[in-house]
Amino acid sequence: MVRPIDDEYLPRRDVFCIDVKSFFASVEAVRRRIHPLHAYVIVIAHKERSGSVVLAASPRVKKEFGIKTGSRNYEIPKDPRLILVEPSMALYLKVNKMILDIFRRFVAEEDLHCYSIDEAFLDVTASKRLFGDTFTIARTIQRTVWQELRLVVTIGIGDNPLLAKLALDNEGKNAPNGISYWSYEDVPAKVWAIDPITDMWGISNGYAKALYNIGIESVKDLAHADKWKIKRKFGVIGEQLFYHAWGIDYSVISEKVGAREKSFSKGQILLRDYDKEDEIVIVIKEMTEDVAMRLRQHGAAAAGIALGISYSRDIEDRGFKHQIVLPRSTNKTAELCEHFVRLFKKYWDGQPVRQIHVVCSKLQPAAHEQIDLFTPPELDERRHILDETIDQIRDRFGKKAIFHAYSLMKGGTYLQRAGHIGGHKGASY
């Protein structure tokens, strides 16, 4: 095997990618004193609605009933063994912190990267002197999480974060002992064998289609393609995909790179298709109000916005995403709402909407807000006082203490979402 770079320049570290098996469902099983691997738990928000989406299902449910994350409520069979529960996001976040605290016993903070609520990367290269070889550390972490939290974790081990992630997703999650190791030497037999190509980390359906159009149908095809041709078509991402096909990843967990530009955003999947303009506008205003409040809490103002609209999955058109630079930076709710609604009305063509995403970007300190010559100073001041008053009331008495009347109209979702964490109920525990 002739790699695109010499072996001596390949970084080799001992990296774990750790996943908590069916995290939400497992936490709910432990909560009910059931072994996570023996439970028949399905976590689903708004379980009274037939179209509600499954957030998590325990391993037995996946294996025996074919129900998994993304399945719909109406697809769940009426079986007395199945336990349907509403999500408890506050509890999941608490357990996530407990898991990360266990990981911190084995690695320094800079060698730990929380990838998602149920997955993390650990660089144990420097930990072997204290805790033994790589596999000993992996088994010890598995045992510790089980003894203290009764949760099952699977671990992918690799010479870099990419190989650790691929080992986890493509082998570790189904390995008898929950541990899998992929090295650079395993690339031809394991990485190139990943099928379909979308199971390769970083290759979405869109990239897979674009690669197929230039004759690349597999990871092996990608590894043996013309690197410069791939880069010309996809830019730096194309070059990255090429090197990933060879198992090459230069990222080091301790050398974390911060985001180039901070932004505040909010996304929402609607519980039904929205096809009336006034109802969609209400939801956009409610979401903008949440983002504007976060801007003010951080003393920031936005000079740019972006609006993403996804249509119903029953139609061919997928939706749109557009962004604009604002005439001046602002964090005032009314002003931002005007811009978002204007952007929506400009591009919406009447298709049924199922998902909305609002983003405030190009952040500046709020103190640097420009004066708008076309807005009377007294109106600007009234908006500022109104926003500040609403923020103070909500901080003290909760989000439901004060809200706009349009949230009571058909289509409004604010009152349903108030008190939610990560878009789901932060139920007590």
Cite the active site residues.
119
Q: How many secondary structure helices (H) and strands (E) does the chain include?
A: 14, 14
Cα angle 280, 281, 287 (rounded to 5 degrees) comes to 90
The residues that bridge with 304 in the sheet, in sequence order, are 325, 361
What does DSSP assign to residue 144?
H
CA–CA separation, 385 and 332 (whole Å): 10
Q: Is 247 left (phi over 0), alpha (psi -120 to 50) or beta?
A: left
Burial status of residue 81 (CB atoms within 10 A of its CB: 0-12, 13-18, 19 or more): exposed
CA–CA separation, 136 and 132 (whole Å): 6
Spell 393-415 as b/e; 16+ CB within 10 A means b. ebeeeebeeebbebbeeebbbbe
3-class secondary structure, 402: coil
Q: Token digits for 132?
A: 């033994």
Asked if omega into 196 is within 30° of 0 (cis), the reply is yes
Q: Token digits for 353?
A: 């909407």
User: How far from 218 is each of 161, 173, 225, 367, 415, CA to CA, in Å?
Assistant: 21, 22, 11, 52, 47
CB 301 within 8 A of CB 369: yes
Contacts of 307 (CB under 8 A, 6+ apart): 284, 321, 322, 323, 340, 343, 344, 356, 357, 358, 359
CB 270 within 8 A of CB 413: yes
Residue 337's closest CA among 301, 283, 409?
A: 283
CA–CA separation, 383 and 380 (whole Å): 5
